[in-house]
């Protein structure tokens, strides 16, 4: 079909664990779904055109004259949501019975009965495996009942008819009677499901507008990203169809400190908007990619993470390298006043060619010495920052193109922050993997007013701090730092084993609360700068409750 539409086991980015090996295979073809209405609103359905799906699933799911299948035709889900469903069918009923059947069913349903790009924008964090996200659950009954076992994103990742939402009451009570056996459950479930039926119907304006969206089959993308603990980076990625329809990717990245990284991998588009990929980095890491294409196809945004530790990764935006001229970013994002000479890299779309030093303007007291490189997507310039330049953010003017407030000039470091300000890790290493926490120290300028915490403050960038752990005195004699784990000098915290620890009172074992402290001595020190963040080290999650 000319698209990258086949998925192989080694490329899976599923969030599920402990499942049959073949159940992690997520291939998709890009077909347009058709929405039809029956005799009344409860009869609205999406017909199943696939003979294979009807034959495989028809033993339990009745097919009517409209080719609508009971339960199946009245739902839409994310690719991960359909994978959950097919996994449960295989576990409970033995169907589908093979890898090829599973691939075909998930592929068809995700492409024809998926969510649209607009519908996943608010819940992408779950698929991107972002941790420590505080979810906003707008309904009290949904919060009290639904999020006992599910993340809210798991619930909001589905669209159903009203009748189909209400069926979940009987399904959950039959499947989990012990967990739901409390007096007010039936009434609360009715209220929660009625809210969900109104909030997440099968047919939506987004579905009518965006269904059938087809992804770009190939192309070159410009990359702007951030890896906690390492810093900002710019780069390029090429996506091209390969053998069997698998997309082949090559990514080049350069960080603010000058370090370069290359990645080669493969991936697939799901349902016209969702990119899932895998790559091998030049530093030996195996990477998984989860990105969502915006409705206007102007940006592909999401997160990449490590295969073995999905809590460790980076945020990234990708832009098609064609279109109107636009400056996307500058690296490094801030320069010291004064700076004799240094290089900056400007990333953009359709940038002007054959540039001279006078074509680049960074404002007063900034001298452009020379243009070292200019292509349609990247300009490298040699610049010097003169004494007396005011601190603040500068616009980048490049022969008519303007990037607003992309370059910061600073005279001193104002303060540092440790990010995230509230982190979480989980013990492990015996029965389950440890959950790590990456911290980073980020320096800020006080801006032109010289006062910390005001609107003109701006980020200078990630800095190489000295890391240590301090006690968080929630009780007078708290000594958690001796037990919870260690932090390396790149800000990576590794928790202790989940074994019992007889030295800890109240069965705390190796859990606890601590401060993570970063200290930094600037190049022209007036004082050592410090920042700190709170870290909770909790028990492992032995049972996954985000049930399908």
* Claim to verify: residue 233 and residue 373 sit in the same structural domain: no
Q: Which of 58-62, 248-252, 269-273, 509-513 has the lowest mean pLDDT?
A: 269-273
Residue-wise pLDDT tens digits, 155-174: 999 999 999 999 999 888 88
Domain membership flag for residue 474:
yes
- Percentage with pLDDT > 90 across the chain: 68
378-385 vs 339-349, strand pairing mode: antiparallel
Do 299 and 356 belong together in one domain?
no
Residue 454: band (very low, low, confident or very high) from pLDDT cuts 50, 70, 90: very high
Task: Return the number of other C-beta atoms located less than 10 Å from residue 46's C-beta.
Answer: 25
Residues 91-97: contacts with CB under 8 Å, at least 24 apart: 91/19, 91/20, 93/60, 95/56, 95/57, 95/59, 95/60, 96/56
- Of 313, 295, 319, residue with least CA distance to 206: 295
Task: State the average pLDDT over residues 420-425.
Answer: 96
pLDDT of residue 402: 97
Residues 194 and 232 in one domain: no
- Whether the CB-CB separation of 370 and 320 falls below 8 Å is answered with no
Strand bridging mode 437-438 / 492-495: antiparallel
Domain boundary, last residue among 179, 209, 239: 209
The domain total for the chain is: 4
For the ranges 92-106, 366-380, 483-497, the lowest mean pLDDT is seen at 92-106
pLDDT at 145: 86
Question: 457 or 267: whose pLDDT is higher?
Answer: 457
Are residues 314 and 350 both part of a single domain? no
pTM: 0.86
Residues 263, 387: one domain? Answer: no
Do 140 and 183 fall within a single domain? yes
Residue-averaged pLDDT of the chain = 87
The CATH number covering residue 240 comes to 2.40.128.120
Per-residue pLDDT of 428-452, as tens digits, reads 999 999 999 999 999 999 999 999 9
pLDDT for res 543:
65
pLDDT tier at 4 (50, 70, 90 boundaries)? low
Q: List the CATH number of the domain containing 347.
A: 2.60.40.10
% the chain with pLDDT above 70:
90
> Per the domain annotation, does 544 fall within a domain?
no
How many other CB atoms are there within 10 angstroms of residue 206's CB atom?
Answer: 17
Q: Please report the pLDDT score of residue 245 as a whole number.
A: 64
Same domain, 464 and 355: no
Q: Please give the structure tokens belonging to residue 541.
A: 């999650």
Domain range enclosing 256: 220-318
């Amino acid at each position: 079909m000319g698209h990258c539409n086949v998925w192989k086991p080694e490329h899976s980015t599923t969030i599920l664990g402990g499942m049959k090996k073949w159940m992690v295979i997520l291939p998709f073809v890009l077909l347009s779904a058709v929405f039809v209405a029956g005799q009344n609103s409860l009869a609205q359905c999406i017909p199943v055109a696939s003979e294979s799906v009807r034959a495989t699933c028809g033993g339990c799911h009745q097919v009517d004259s409209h080719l609508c299948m009971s339960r199946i035709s009245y739902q839409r889900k994310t690719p991960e949501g359909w994978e959950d469903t097919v996994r449960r069918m295989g576990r409970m009923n033995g169907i589908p019975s093979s890898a090829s059947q599973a691939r075909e069913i998930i592929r068809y349903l995700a492409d024809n009965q998926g969510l649209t790009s607009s519908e996943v924008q608010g819940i992408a964090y779950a698929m991107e495996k972002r941790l420590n996200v505080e979810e906003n659950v707008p309904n009290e009954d949904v919060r009290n009942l639904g999020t006992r076992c599910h993340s809210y994103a798991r619930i909001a990742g589905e669209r159903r008819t009203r009748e189909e939402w209400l069926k979940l009451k009987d399904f959950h009570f039959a499947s989990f009677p012990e967990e739901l056996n409390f007096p007010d459950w039936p009434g609360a479930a009715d209220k929660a499901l009625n809210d969900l039926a109104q909030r997440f119907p099968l047919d939506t304006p987004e579905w009518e507008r965006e269904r059938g969206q087809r992804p770009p089959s190939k192309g070159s993308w410009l990359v702007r990203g951030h890896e906690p603990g390492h810093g900002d980076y710019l780069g390029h990625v090429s996506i091209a169809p390969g053998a069997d329809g698998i997309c082949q990717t090559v990514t080049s990245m350069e960080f603010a400190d000058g370090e370069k990284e290359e990645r080669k991998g493969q991936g697939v588009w799901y349902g016209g908007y969702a990119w899932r990929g895998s790559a091998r980095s030049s530093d030996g890491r195996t990477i998984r990619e989860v990105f969502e294409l915006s409705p206007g196809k102007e940006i592909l945004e999401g997160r990449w993470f490590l295969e073995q530790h999905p809590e460790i990764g980076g945020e990234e935006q990708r832009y098609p390298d064609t279109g109107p001229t636009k400056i996307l970013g500058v690296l490094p994002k801030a320069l010291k006043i004064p700076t004799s000479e240094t290089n900056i890299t400007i990333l953009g779309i359709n940038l002007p060619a054959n540039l001279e030093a006078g074509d680049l303007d960074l404002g007063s007291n900034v001298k452009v010495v020379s243009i070292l490189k200019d292509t349609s997507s990247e300009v490298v310039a040699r610049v010097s920052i003169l004494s007396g330049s005011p601190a603040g953010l500068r616009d980048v003017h490049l022969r008519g193109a303007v990037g607003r407030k992309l370059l910061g000039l600073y005279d001193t470091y104002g303060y540092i922050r440790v990010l995230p300000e509230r982190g979480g890790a989980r013990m492990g290493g015996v029965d389950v993997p440890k959950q790590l926490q990456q911290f980073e120290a980020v320096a800020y300028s006080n801006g032109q007013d010289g006062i910390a915490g005001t609107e003109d403050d701006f980020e200078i960038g990630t800095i190489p701090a000295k890391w240590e752990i301090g006690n968080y005195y929630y009780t007078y004699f708290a000594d958690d730092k001796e037990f919870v784990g260690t932090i390396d000098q790149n800000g990576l915290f590794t928790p202790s084993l989940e074994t019992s620890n007889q030295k800890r009172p109240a069965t705390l074992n190796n859990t606890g609360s601590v401060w993570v402290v970063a200290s930094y001595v600037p190049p022209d020190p007036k004082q050592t700068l410090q920042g700190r963040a709170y870290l909770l080290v909790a028990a492992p999650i032995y049972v996954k409750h985000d049930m399908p």
